[in-house]
Homo-oligomer: A and B are copies of this chain.
Amino acid sequence: MKSDTFRWICESTDGAARAGRLQTAHGPVETPTFMPVGTAGTVKAMTMDAVRSTGAGIVLGNTYHLMLRPGAERVRALGGLHRFMDWPGPILTDSGGFQVMSLGALRKLDQDGVTFQSHIDGSKHRLDPERSTVIQHALDATITMCLDECPALPAAPEAIAASMRMSMRWAARSREAFVARPGYGQFGIVQGGTEPELRAESVKALTDIGFEGYAVGGLAVGEGQALMFSTLDVTTPLMPVDAPRYLMGVGTPDDLLGAVERGIDMFDCVMPTRAGRTARAYTERGTLNLRNARFAEDARPLSPHCDCLACSRHSRAYLHHLFRTNEILAPMLLTWHNLAYYQRLMRGIRMAIVDGTLSAHGAHLRAEWAMEDWSEDEMPQPVIPPVP
């Protein structure tokens, strides 16, 4: 059901974890949710029908890539990103900041914004809070993100403070530039590195401005899971209880579980899609490297719990063969599988929150991840009819 009011409704809590529903102009999303990354207007190696079949409710687009190719005005002329990429559901676009900041020598930051050269053709571009917002509007993003700076960690507290305060000034400018439309929203991004008082100051600055949702940025940039979790521990309790919370660029299945336990509702990460292109399969029993010779004659599916195309129709041996022969079908099938796993993981976590059993469910997930691949006792080789 499409909604004229962009809002997040809490349905259940279990400890700090929340199960809810995001209402948007492009339909609802059950949270906690994982957003597949559709960098340049495509979730790599996937048709949108396949993305839908995994149960994904919202996808992410990258402003940096789309502003360069095919260009935001072109996407607008073609009816927006939903139509362009065949995803009528909600789309969140990042601000472009994270990718631009990663350009190193190709970008020059000032207090007003950032000037950079395209990694493709060296052409010069400018991104500032207003321009980023205008671009995201042209793309028709359901959720627009504020432009921010995301310093690499570790960094000196003064540098992190200065960067965070600049991001907060940019957040105010982004909010000014945001055009309210029924069912659309804009998220502010909490910065402040791993410094609790800076995170608190950032949350205060953003809630004073007021957004439809709040993201936690500046994590998963090298600080390690323990510091990420401890930062969430001191940050999410300060964030509004009636708005969605999005942890940007995270993460492994274990990261997702731990962050949901700390009150996060939304995630995006290239891990499942990138792993799908590099022969790494996510399963309930951890990851499998499909290039490994031990799969060459393994007639079993990747996982006994998965209903993706790879698992319902093909053996590990087939996937191993496809990766060894560099067939395009290899990343197609494995990306599908990995996204199906991530969505199944999130559905299971959501159900546990609703049931009030997240603690037991989390313990079960972690115990399984720590185990080796299923033994042949647990998952026998299928009976294969002989070739006539």
**Which applies to chain A's interface (DSSP): helix, strand, loop or mixed?**
loop
Which chain B residue shows the least CB distance to A83? Answer: B384
**A48 CB within 8 Å of chain B:** yes
Query: A296 — which chain B residues lie within 8 A by C-beta?
Result: 70, 74
A69 touches B329 (CB 8 A): no
Contact of A40 among B83, B297, B325, B331 (CB under 8 A): B325
Q: Which residues of B contact A320 (CB under 8 A)?
A: 70
A387 CB contact (under 8 Å) in B45, B76, B317: B76
Stretch at the interface among A198-206, A253-261, A307-315: A307-315
Partner of A328, one of B77, B78, B325, B331: B331
Shortest beta-carbon distance from A237 to chain B in Å: 35
What B residues does A69 contact at CB under 8 A? Answer: 321, 324-325
Chain B hits for A47, CB < 8 A: 309, 329, 332-333
Residues of B within 8 A of A42 (CB): 322, 327, 329
Contact yes or no, A78 B325, CB < 8 A: no
- Among B44, B80, B317, B324, the residue within 8 A (CB) of A329 is B44
- Min CB gap A134→B, angstroms: 12
Min CB distance A381 to B, Å, is: 10
Least CB separation from A141: chain B residue = B387
Report if A224 contacts B (CB, 8 A): no
Q: Which of A21-70 contact B (CB under 8 A)?
A: 25, 40-42, 44-49, 65, 69-70
Interface members, chain A 129-150 (any B CB < 8 Å): 137-138, 140
Q: CB-CB < 8 A to A187: which residues of B? A: none
A304 interface contact, C-beta 8 A? no
What's the least CB distance linking A5 to chain B, in Å? 15
* Contact yes or no, A329 B46, CB < 8 A: yes
Residues of B within 8 A of A116 (CB): none
**Nearest CB to that of A77 among chain B residues?**
B297
Contact pick for A44, options B48, B70, B327, CB 8 Å: B327
Q: Which residues of B contact A211 (CB under 8 A)?
A: none
Task: With A85-B318, A140-B388, A184-B388 given, name 7 new contacts (CB 8 A).
Answer: A25-B388, A40-B327, A42-B327, A65-B325, A69-B325, A78-B297, A84-B315
Binding site for B on A (CB under 8 A): 25, 40-42, 44-49, 65, 69-70, 74, 76-80, 83-86, 137-138, 140, 181, 184, 277, 296-297, 299, 309, 313-315, 317-318, 320-322, 324-325, 327-329, 331-333, 384-388
